Structure 1
Amino acid sequence: MSNTMIGVIGGSGVYDLDTLEDKRWQAVETPWGAPSDKILTGTLNGVPMAFLPRHGRGHVHSPSSVPYRANIDALKRLGVTDVISVSACGSFREEMAPGDFVIVDQFIDRTFAREKSFFGQGCVAHVSLAHPTCPRLGAACLGAAREAGITVHDGGTYLAMEGPQFSTLAESRMYRDGWGADVIGMTNMPEAKLAREAELCYASVAMVTDYDSWHPEHGAVEVSDIVRVLTGNAEKARRLVGRLPAHLGPSRAPCQHGCDRALDHALLTAPGHRDPALLKRLDAVAGRVLG
């Protein structure tokens, strides 16, 4: 058994977690640069928690400029064991209406302007991403959402686009009808990939703000409309997060889905050929297997 530490990455509209006790903002240095912001640490019902606003307080990072590697490394460095991603999204499904939450369990990654791995030349690794979220953690989020009175959908495919522009009508129709995506957003990739490489359990809570541009009765996405829904979604997200400690508890067994052992068979570069400089940068995310 080990101690639970819940990490929450807050998306658009979620820049603080005012329910934490003994909270303080602290700077965390990483070999991948500075995270999006200082990290708010504290406890909730006796369980340690860390909160990181993905876009920074004041929303200073675009989806493409978010320092994803630094964010995941910083959470791992602090001792986080379970990461809950909270993010705004558009919906491709009539039944997934604005104000609803979706517990995402699959991704289609269409991003192209971001660093997507901690590994590379000098230390090559390939982790499995067939099931990119942790079912145990997703179930905890689902239960917490239902207890909080939130309309929540269990399972959904998240299309990650580069942005920062919203989809064209043709793209929206293709993602919905041709590719079978359920929601669309700009930030869960490469975040989920990096969390897996860092051996962190990861769950994605997508907060629906709009119907993208496919819906004939709702027209194009307007930021002013999204902001109005974001305010209500942020309050719901805080209610959900407040119920997570009761679901996860202060201690945890090894993940039954293997998230915390994702690197067991992932490293391909022979020890004698590994780049010492890269290994030094990997001390937090891969220290368990690199010694």
Structure 2
Amino acid sequence: MGSAPAPFFEIGKKAKDILTKDYYFNHKFSLATISAAGLGITATGVKLDDLFVGDISTQYKSGKTTVDVKVDTNSNVSTTVTVNEIVSGAKTTFSFKIPDQKSGKLDVQYLHDHVAINSSIGMNTIPVLELAAAIGSKKFGIGAEVGFDSTSATFTKYNAGISFNQNDFSAALILADKGETVKASYIHFLDPLNRSAVAAEMIHRLKTSENSFTIGTSHALDPLTLVKARLCNNGKLAVLCQHEWRPKSLLTLSAEYDPKAIISPSRLGLALALKP
């Protein structure tokens, strides 16, 4: 649906991607392969301080159906089955984890010309229900989401947001954390050819009157190399350099400096992704 508004969870996402996406301050490696029959295998390993964790996932596509199975280092098995276009504009996803018998969940997404609806229900006797909806168009959208826990008969979340998008900028305002937090974000695209953009996010917590902000920028040095930087109000400065050394394969170097940290004010991260 080319004219449909973005789903609620994507409100403010463009600015958030500039400020947070691909920043990683540990060591991460992922390797992906895919066969002619549509079977893909991805292995991921992450080094967190002195602890190494990882997972292996497989994906199989057949027509409108995609099946994803992931096994992590703790022998937990996660399975997701996605079916597209059961009816026009609809996508259905069923997921569950083993051995967690209460983890089953059914998600349904529906996109129409002027509405985007996402719903989720836990597949157990006392489920958690979630519903998010956005109305408008690609240029302007307003939406809300609610979550209800039928066990305690309480709302787990209720948030609202509004977005305004043009070719050269995007702005969003979100009321989050059950009305306790206001988030405002803005991104301006300076040069789409060089992927140059600046973004900012400001957060105001109503209960404590606490304010925080983050500003950031991105720029492509060449078609294969992207650099990013961000600065937070607490003084933290982070930079990133990402190079596509072969098609779809990325090498990402990240660094962060925290002037308030006493023991280790700087952090470095390396992420390598190999894809066919």
Q: Tell me the TM-score range normalised by the shorter chain.
A: under 0.3
Provide the TM-score with structure 2 as the length reference. Answer: 0.25
Provide the TM-score with structure 1 as the length reference. Answer: 0.24
Point out the structure with max Rg over C-alpha. Answer: 2
Bigger share in strand = 2
